[in-house]
Copies of this chain bind each other. A is one copy, B any other.
Amino acid sequence: MARYVFGADVGGTTVKIGLLTETGEKVEFWEIPTVTEDHGSRIIPDIAASIRAKMKERKIEDTEVVGAGVGVPGAVNSDGMCYQAVNLGWEKISVVNELHSALKLPVKAGNDANVAALGEAWKGGGQGYNNLLLVTLGTGVGGGIIIDGKILSGSKGSGGEIGHIHLVDDEPEKCGCGKHGCFEMYASATGAVRLARRVLAMYDEPSVLREKEYECRDIFDAAKNGDNMARMAAEQYGYYLGKGIAAVATVTNPEIIVLGGGVSKAGDMLFDLLMPSFKKYAFSGCAEAKFALAKLGNDAGVYGAAKLLIG
């Protein structure tokens, strides 16, 4: 008798849901809309209904299902208590209790970035590693820390919020969190653009970046093509990325560090860019960590949410 597990990754516009075998083979992934009206009160019932409909469609009995895991874009502790999820309209809510009431199956929940890290450790770029750090390089910098195979959630679910480690003292601009000089002000996609803007303002040298509105990937493409201004921006990006990761690695001593998110499409060049400052700033006992690229893309959260149920 096949045994199944469901994973749901709740985003601001859609919920990705996956049906997997308990060994992590993908059976079917689909999406439903995230209804944020009325303080997001329909989100959990909608997930439960969608899972129940899929079980009915595929004639899957309750006894064949290990349970359902959920990743949420907010602070969630290891008991599945969500303290706030602004994009969903949620205040404090026990995701585990609410979904369990609606679904009548075993339920677990976690923060989406943390759950994605668990997914990458299960079936992605960090497959087979029990101590992993996932660094998600997107509009911001997110993180997920896996210790002995479990998510580091922290007391109020803010564990792994590595984007807001303080890196730079004299930063004049303000981070989205209200502070100055956070890691994600430099190591995110918008951070790369910020660094390029500053390089271009400081020097007169010509650059393809002066010819158009550019975004993060244009900087890395131009750097690969030998554009000197872009190369300087990319090197600064790597400097801050390595420095921030070094701080996290010194605290948590991961075996492998996995880079995900849109910026990670720049590929292996990121490792060359970050390694000098990573080696310079990481404690020697932690500096031998492996590096890898994430493999699961937007599916990482679904895999990880399912993995919450699998010991």
Contacts and interface: CB of A to CB of B under 8 A. Distances in A.
Interface of A: 75, 78, 83, 129-131, 143, 145, 147-148, 150, 152-162, 164-166, 177-179, 243, 246-248, 250-255, 280-281, 283-286, 288-289
Contacts of A248: 251
Most buried by B among A147, A284, A288: A147
B283 A145 contact: no
Contacts of A166: 243, 246-247, 250, 281
Nearest to A243: B166
Number of copies: 2
The 4 closest A-B pairs by CB, nearest first: A154-B253, A158-B285, A155-B255, A131-B155
Interface residue SS majority, chain A = loop
A165 B285 contact: no
A129 B289 CA distance: 30
A154 B162 contact: no
A253 B286 contact: no
A154 B246 contact: no
B178 A159 contact: no
A157 B284 contact: no
Given A147-B154, A148-B78, A280-B179, A161 B131 contact: no
A147 B159 CA distance: 10
A18 to B, nearest CB: 26
30 contacts: A78-B148, A131-B154, A131-B155, A148-B153, A152-B152, A152-B252, A154-B252, A154-B253, A155-B253, A155-B289, A156-B255, A156-B286, A158-B283, A158-B285, A158-B286, A159-B253, A160-B251, A161-B250, A161-B251, A161-B253, A161-B285, A164-B250, A164-B283, A165-B283, A166-B246, A166-B250, A179-B280, A247-B247, A248-B251, A252-B252
Given A75-B285, A147-B152, A254-B155, A247 B165 contact: yes
Nearest to A285: B158
A156 B285 CA distance: 7
A162 B145 CA distance: 16
B247 A159 contact: no
Given A147-B159, A152-B147, A177-B283, A251 B252 contact: yes
A283 B129 CA distance: 28
Contacts of A247: 165-166, 247, 251
B285 A253 contact: no
B286 A161 contact: yes
Contacts of A143: 251
